[in-house]
């Protein structure tokens, strides 16, 4: 029994050491301006994912229509990431789907369902986690703004390590004893910290907060903090402070203190939890988009789940596309279409916060997903 668990752990160590070597050989970020053609993949996922991702893609196609017509931008629609297909293939991402994803430069992805213990489905790894690992999307970037409260936060969550990277590879030693694993590498911690500090420097952000629990999780969180401190030393003009994850969650609710935060750097699990809390303060998880950034690929998505109940009840046409539209703003910024990103972001502020001529409720008493998309595009036209 013990020997089997030790052998399992040995294989995991070998896998992670190989991943470290791949990180060391990384050649740097793609220059989108140098591409002859930008390929945008649209992968609907399951549940409400196909509805909201297609609506966000429709808005993107409208904004990029001139470049599509000139052959500078191509949209590719990728099917096959449904939970049913993933279970049938026995993989978090079927091989043919992964091959098509790798043909794209950036991906707009709808939510996907992840099986959990006790729900009767096979123990298939999260499609999100699998995609982040396969495409090395090491940075999960989530902005949150509440202007009337002076809140302007950007979260840089490490995306390929921590408690999630081996989430499906824990070991049951016996019916009484189980282990899961947390992974931290110097390379992983350094590159997420550097991306955050570069963002802070480029955007005039005054402070970067390092979030961890190094007083208790002394090895992995301790190493994460040590490596982030080393990067922070290269940016002396930026204030660096350190917060434990538990008190961070409390201080985000403190209206006096939370306006002091600016940029956050967090390990994977903590970042997942805190960004959902932050999005709820902004107006709910349906209001926030998310970027998953790597050097070769990037993926943009909503931060909420696939809402299978809405589909079962026939309410998917009323799904809220705002989170996906916010993700589309991030996609445009990432590929250097900053003017169009600013135009869409301003239109969303008007449609979601200021004017609110249409309201999404998720039911027939609210607007449909496509009607809200039309509203956003009409607003963009007025802003031009």
Residue range 42-97, pLDDT digits in tens: 999 999 999 999 999 999 999 999 999 999 999 999 999 988 899 899 899 999 99
Residue range 11-31, pLDDT digits in tens: 888 888 888 899 888 878 889
Residue 114 confidence (pLDDT): 80
Query: How many folded domains does the chain comprise?
Result: 1
- Answer yes or no: is 282 within a domain: no
pTM: 0.88
C-beta of residue 105 within 8 angstroms of C-beta of residue 30: yes
**Pairwise CA distance, residues 180 & 8, whole Å:** 12
- State the DSSP code for 183: B
Mention every residue, 6+ apart, whose C-beta is less than 8 A from residue 124. Answer: 86, 87, 90, 91, 92, 114, 115, 168
Residue 119 confidence (pLDDT): 62
Instruction: Tell me the longest C-alpha to C-alpha distance in the chain.
Output: 68
Residue 59 confidence (pLDDT): 98
**Pairwise CA distance, residues 220 & 188, whole Å:** 12
pLDDT higher than 60, residue 280: yes
- Token pair listed for 332: 């445009």
pLDDT higher than 70, residue 352: yes
- Residue ranges of alpha helices (H) inside the chain are 2-24, 49-63, 65-69, 83-89, 95-101, 127-134, 186-202, 220-232, 245-251, 268-282, 308-312, 322-334, 338-349, 369-383
Residue 44 confidence (pLDDT): 93
pLDDT higher than 90, residue 334: yes
Residue 117 confidence (pLDDT): 60
**Pairwise CA distance, residues 227 & 217, whole Å:** 15
- Answer yes or no: is 112 within a domain: yes
Helix axes 338-349, 369-383, angle to 10 degrees: 120
Residue range 353-382, pLDDT digits in tens: 899 999 999 999 999 999 999 999 999 999
C-beta of residue 50 within 8 angstroms of C-beta of residue 82: no
Beta bridge partners of 143: 154
Among the listed residues 229, 242, 241, 218, the one whose alpha carbon sits nearest the alpha carbon of residue 194: 229
Among the listed residues 321, 331, 327, the one whose alpha carbon sits nearest the alpha carbon of residue 368: 321
- Answer yes or no: is 260 within a domain: no
Dihedral-angle region of residue 39 (phi above 0 means left; psi in -120 to 50 means alpha; beta otherwise): beta
CA angle 65, 68, 71 (to 5 degrees): 150
Q: How far is CA 89 from CA 23, 86, 161, 288, in A?
A: 29, 5, 25, 31
Q: What is the mean pLDDT of the chain?
A: 92
**Pairwise CA distance, residues 310 & 296, whole Å:** 35
Among the listed residues 63, 135, 133, the one whose alpha carbon sits nearest the alpha carbon of residue 105: 135
- Answer yes or no: is 350 within a domain: yes
- Answer yes or no: is 80 within a domain: yes
- Residue ranges of alpha helices (H) inside 30-163 are 49-63, 65-69, 83-89, 95-101, 127-134
* CB-CB neighbours of 296 under 10 Å: 14
Helix axes 322-334, 338-349, angle to 10 degrees: 160
Residue range 201-229, pLDDT digits in tens: 999 999 999 999 999 999 999 999 999 99
Residue range 90-124, pLDDT digits in tens: 899 999 999 999 999 999 999 998 876 656 667 77
Residue 187 confidence (pLDDT): 95
CATH number at residue 104: 3.40.718.10
pLDDT higher than 60, residue 274: yes
- Answer yes or no: is 49 within a domain: yes
Mean pLDDT to the nearest integer, 190-201: 96
CA angle 376, 143, 282 (to 5 degrees): 70
Residue range 226-259, pLDDT digits in tens: 999 999 999 999 999 999 999 999 999 999 899 9
Residue 238 confidence (pLDDT): 98
C-beta of residue 164 within 8 angstroms of C-beta of residue 267: no
Instruction: List the domain range (segments joined by +) for residue 91.
Output: 31-137+294-384
- Answer yes or no: is 192 within a domain: no
**Pairwise CA distance, residues 315 & 317, whole Å:** 5
Among the listed residues 46, 42, 36, the one whose alpha carbon sits nearest the alpha carbon of residue 71: 36
- Answer yes or no: is 160 within a domain: no
């Amino acid at each position: 029994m013990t020997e089997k668990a030790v052998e399992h752990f040995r294989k995991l160590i070998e896998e992670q050491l190989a991943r470290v070597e791949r990180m060391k050989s990384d050649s740097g970020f793609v220059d989108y301006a140098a591409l002859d053609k930008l390929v945008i993949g649209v992968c609907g996922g399951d549940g409400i994912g196909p509805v909201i991702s297609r609506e966000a893609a429709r808005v993107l196609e409208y904004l990029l229509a001139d470049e599509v017509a000139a052959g500078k931008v191509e949209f590719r629609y990728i099917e096959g990431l449904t939970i049913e297909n993933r279970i049938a293939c026995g993989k978090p991402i079927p091989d043919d789907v992964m091959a098509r994803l790798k043909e794209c430069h950036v991906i707009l992805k709808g939510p996907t369902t992840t099986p959990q213990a006790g729900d009767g489905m096979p123990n298939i790894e999260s499609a999100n986690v699998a995609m982040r690992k396969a495409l090395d999307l090491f940075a999960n970037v989530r902005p949150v703004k509440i202007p009337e409260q002076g809140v302007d936060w950007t979260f840089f969550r490490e995306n390929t390590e921590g408690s999630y990277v081996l989430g499906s590879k824990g070991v049951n030693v016996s019916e009484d004893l189980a282990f899961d694993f947390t992974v931290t590498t110097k390379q992983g911690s350094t590159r997420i910290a550097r991306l955050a500090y570069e963002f802070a420097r480029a955007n005039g952000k005054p402070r970067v907060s390092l979030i961890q629990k190094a007083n208790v999780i002394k090895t992995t969180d301790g190493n994460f903090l040590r490596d982030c401190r080393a990067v922070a030393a290269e940016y002396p003009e930026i204030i660096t402070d350190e917060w434990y994850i538990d008190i961070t969650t409390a201080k985000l609710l403190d209206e006096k203190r939370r306006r002091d935060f600016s940029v956050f750097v967090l390990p994977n699990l903590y970042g997942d939890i805190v960004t959902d809390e932050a999005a709820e303060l902004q107006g709910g998880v349906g209001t926030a988009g998310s970027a998953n950034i790597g050097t070769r690929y990037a993926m943009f998505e909503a931060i909420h789940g696939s809402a299978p109940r809405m589909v079962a009840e026939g309410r998917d046409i009323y799904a809220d596309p705002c989170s996906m539209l916010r993700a589309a703003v991030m996609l445009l910024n990432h590929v250097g279409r900053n003017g169009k990103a600013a135009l869409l972001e301003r239109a969303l502020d008007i449609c979601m916060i200021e004017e609110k001529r249409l309201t999404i409720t998720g039911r027939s008493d609210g607007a449909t997903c496509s009607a809200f998309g039309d509203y956003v595009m009409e607003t963009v036209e007025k802003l031009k």
